Amino acid sequence: MLDYYKILEVPKDTSQEDIKKAFRKQALKYHPDRNQGNKESEEKFKEVNEAYETLSDESKRRRYDLGESNIGGFNFGENFNNPFSFGFDPVDIMSRFTSHFNREGRQQKENIQYVVSITIHEAFNGCEKEIEYERFVKCKQCNGQGSENLSDIKVCPECKGHGTSTASNGFFTISSRCQYCNGSGKMFITRCSLCGGSGFDKEKEKVKVKIPPGCQNNNGLKIREKGNQQEDGSFSDLIVFIKIIEDSIFSISGSNVLANIKVPLHYAIIGGKIKIPTLHGEKEHEIKPYSGDKYVFEMNGLGYPSYIGAKQYGSQYVHIIWEFPSSGIPEEIIESIKNIPVNNQTFPEYTSTSSGKDA
Ligand SMILES: [Zn+2]
Ligand SMILES: [Zn+2]
């Protein structure tokens, strides 16, 4: 592993300011234009750039100090298919998907993934949400060049500007990102004071997202060209993932809705009409007398859309939960219920339920 501090001739605890100064000094010293055809200084120039790439980035520098090599690489790919597996800060999600490299080895900014939480009613009816996130845009100070001074930008002598280096063992040729220029194909004598040479800056963006009725959990909506800006000026896409917040009454299973409805206990005995909430509004339902402890029924066509935007709906399955009086049932009522014969039979008294152990 190269000693980056030695290459820049700075002490280990040096400030970012001094690293910048040291880089400029060393880059000028080994500048290819001043050392025409000198292979050794060309090599030095590449090392100076590599050292600066790492030490000028606080997080890369920390990992380098801890002895990690190959720090130039980007951390992307883990959990790529599951935007819900990490903690929800959308900015954090974005920073994990900052870059990857296309076939030419050029740095390519990823689509941005954003998770928006909505209620089940919003999912059913459709809604509009304004979301705010950060995205990369070309640095305004250097116009995306990485340096304010165009003459200070050189073609990387290692990869000749392609951004990739190739290695061959006779059978296979393996292309990988050029480690000297970090895939940019460029090397700098001075770097833009705003973006540090990356050519990109972060910008806050607000977008209104129309969420159509009938979305399912984890559905993604693509909003074209609202992602990160690319080197060629175009933009990647913003992908908004739907997360439906858990509801105390309703849950969705495909096009069916499961509803847990609390009903006062006396309906179980004397029956009566009640209002059942559905996503389509309240519907009257008649409970028959003596309907028992488990009570489930189907409400046809009052479920969730079969697909996004559909006018056909599945069923709502209602699970009645009998609600006991919060103050308890008065003793004399319990006594009189106990003495009512069931199917013309009287049953022996069970004492175990209240007093405990013996059945
Ligand atoms: Zn290179
Ligand atoms: Zn800049």
Kindly state whether residues 199 and 320 are assigned to the same domain: no
When mean pLDDT is compared across 158-172, 193-207, 338-352, the lowest value belongs to 338-352
Kindly state whether residues 119 and 218 are assigned to the same domain: yes
Of 238, 205, 200, residue with least CA distance to 222:
238
Domain residue limits at 306: 250-341
Residue 50 CA to ligand 1 center (angstroms) comes to 10
Across the range 57-61, mean pLDDT stands at 86
Per-residue HEC secondary structure of 85-125 comes to CCCCCHHHHHHHCCEEECCCCCEEECCEEEEEEECHHHHHH
Q: What is the CATH number of the domain that holds 204?
A: 2.60.260.20
Kindly state whether residues 272 and 195 are assigned to the same domain: no
For tokens 């009512």, what's the residue?
340
Residue 65 CA to ligand 2 center (angstroms) comes to 27
Kindly state whether residues 210 and 117 are assigned to the same domain: yes
Across the range 318-333, mean pLDDT stands at 90
Residue 160 CA to ligand 1 center (angstroms) comes to 6
Residue 107: per-residue pLDDT? 54
Q: Read off the tokens for 316.
A: 């709502």
Residue 336 CA to ligand 1 center (angstroms) comes to 91
Kindly state whether residues 228 and 265 are assigned to the same domain: no
Most confident of 48-62, 102-116, 161-175, 343-357: 48-62
When mean pLDDT is compared across 82-91, 204-213, 300-309, 321-330, the lowest value belongs to 82-91
Closest-lying ligand to the alpha carbon of 190? 2
Closest-lying ligand to the alpha carbon of 197? 2
In the chain, the number of structural domains is 2
Residue 165: per-residue pLDDT? 83
Residue 94: per-residue pLDDT? 37
Q: Residues whose CB is under 5 A from ligand 2 (ion)?
A: 139, 141-142, 192, 194-195
Measured distance CA(103)–CA(161) in Å, rounded: 14
- Per-residue pLDDT band at 340 (split at 50, 70, 90): confident
Closest-lying ligand to the alpha carbon of 154? 1
Residue 112 CA to ligand 1 center (angstroms) comes to 27
Residue type, 174: I
Is 262 a residue whose pLDDT tops 70? yes
Chain-wide mean pLDDT for the chain?
Answer: 83
Q: Residues whose CB is under 5 A from ligand 1 (ion)?
A: 156, 158-159, 178, 180-181
Residue 345: per-residue pLDDT? 67
Residue 82: per-residue pLDDT? 35
Is 347 a residue whose pLDDT tops 70? no
Buried b (16+ CB within 10 A) or exposed e, 58-79: eebbeebeeeeeebbebeeeee
- Per-residue pLDDT band at 69 (split at 50, 70, 90): low
Structural domain includes residue 60: no
For tokens 């880089």, what's the residue?
23
Structural domain includes residue 44: no
Residue 177 CA to ligand 1 center (angstroms) comes to 8
Kindly state whether residues 242 and 304 are assigned to the same domain: no
pTM of the model: 0.64
Residue 146 CA to ligand 1 center (angstroms) comes to 15
Residue 63 CA to ligand 2 center (angstroms) comes to 25
Measured distance CA(94)–CA(113) in Å, rounded: 6
Kindly state whether residues 142 and 233 are assigned to the same domain: yes
Across the range 295-319, mean pLDDT stands at 95
Structural domain includes residue 359: no
- Per-residue pLDDT band at 33 (split at 50, 70, 90): confident
Closest-lying ligand to the alpha carbon of 163? 1
Closest-lying ligand to the alpha carbon of 149? 2
Closest-lying ligand to the alpha carbon of 147? 2
| DSSP result, 238-288 | EEEEEEEPP-SSEEEETTEEEEEEEEETHHHHH-EEEEEEETTEEEEEEEP
DSSP state of 341: -
Is 177 a residue whose pLDDT tops 90? no
Is 173 a residue whose pLDDT tops 70? yes
Kindly state whether residues 138 and 265 are assigned to the same domain: no
CA angle (94 as vertex; 89, 99 as ends), nearest 5: 160
